[in-house]
């Protein structure tokens, strides 16, 4: 028996492009580092509300900075992020409630597909500027991720049940209890201590805490093509 893997929880929302960066990097490292990666679909709106924070783009200088920051990070991380044309409508009006409830249901019923469905939703909203709020959009992402149409439709009907709604609430509350004020949040459960890290730019620090080697966002020998 090898050493016991350390558990990492990644709290994310597909409305958050920085969460996408952290998600792809951790998916690349999960087979390199001795870790067990638990994906935790969370509602960013709930985190911001609960912590008294504001969406970063509400500050005009930050909104301008975000565009250039994400363009550079997209190249550096090899994650195809493109800003949606109507950014404010996508982020502030449309939101991600149904998408994140759907991912919660995927995690409950088909956890083996959670990584792929999450990625397909990010590809829609943060790469191709496509909708993620309407049922046909969510079904298209699920099908692209390898889910059968019947499975996807069944899950979509399930998203408005108290079971799924409460699970998403519980996960969001769990992130808040760790001290989250935004996303992505990575919680590293090490042998003697637990650390909460905010941001996709804290993964080098995470490697340090794990005692693992940081080889940049695209470690060699990993197929990063998306």
Ligand X SMILES: N[C@@H](CCC(=O)N[C@@H](CS)C(=O)NCC(=O)O)C(=O)O
Q: Which residues here bind ligand X, judged by CB under 6 A?
A: 16-18, 53, 56, 181-183, 199-201
Encoded tokens for 5: 């893997």
Alpha-carbon distances of 205 from 28, 45, 186, 199, 201, rounded to whole Å: 16, 26, 11, 11, 8
Cβ nearer to ligand X, comparing 123 with 140 = 123
Cβ nearer to ligand X, comparing 79 with 113 = 79
Q: What residues does 11 pair with on adjacent strands? A: 40, 185
Q: Which residues are catalytic?
A: 16
SS3 content of the chain, % helix, strand, coil (to 5): 55, 10, 35
In the complex, the smallest distance separating the C-beta of residue 155 from ligand X, rounded to whole angstroms, is 25
Cβ nearer to ligand X, comparing 104 with 200 = 200
In the complex, the smallest distance separating the C-beta of residue 117 from ligand X, rounded to whole angstroms, is 19
In the complex, the smallest distance separating the C-beta of residue 15 from ligand X, rounded to whole angstroms, is 7
Cβ nearer to ligand X, comparing 96 with 142 = 96
Which residue of the chain is nearest ligand X when measured via CB? Answer: 182
In the complex, the smallest distance separating the C-beta of residue 159 from ligand X, rounded to whole angstroms, is 23
Residue 113 to residue 39: CA distance in whole angstroms: 11
Phi, psi dihedral angles at 188 (to 5 degrees): -100, 120
Residue 28 to residue 147: CA distance in whole angstroms: 22
């Amino acid at each position: 028996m090898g050493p016991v893997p350390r558990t990492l929880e990644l709290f994310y929302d597909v409305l958050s492009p920085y969460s996408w960066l952290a998600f792809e990097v951790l998916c690349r490292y999960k087979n390199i580092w001795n870790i067990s990666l638990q994906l935790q679909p969370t509602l960013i709106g709930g985190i911001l509300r609960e912590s008294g924070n504001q969406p970063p783009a509400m500050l005009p200088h930050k909104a301008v900075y975000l565009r250039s920051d994400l363009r550079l990070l997209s190249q550096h991380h090899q994650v195809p992020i493109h800003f949606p044309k109507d950014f404010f409508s996508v982020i502030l009006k449309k939101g991600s409630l149904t998408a994140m409830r759907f991912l919660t249901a995927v995690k409950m019923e088909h956890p083996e597909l959670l990584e792929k469905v999450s990625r397909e939703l990010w590809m829609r909203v943060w790469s191709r500027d496509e909708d993620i709020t309407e049922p046909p959009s969510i079904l298209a992402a699920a099908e692209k991720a390898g889910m059968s149409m019947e499975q996807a439709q069944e899950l979509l009907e399930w998203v408005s049940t108290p079971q799924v709604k409460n699970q998403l609430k519980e996960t969001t509350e769990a992130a808040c209890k760790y001290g989250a004020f935004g996303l992505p949040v990575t919680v590293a459960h090490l042998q003697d201590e637990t650390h909460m890290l905010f941001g996709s730019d804290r993964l080098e620090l995470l490697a340090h805490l794990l005692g693992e080697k940081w080889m940049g966002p695209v470690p060699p020998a990993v197929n990063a093509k998306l």
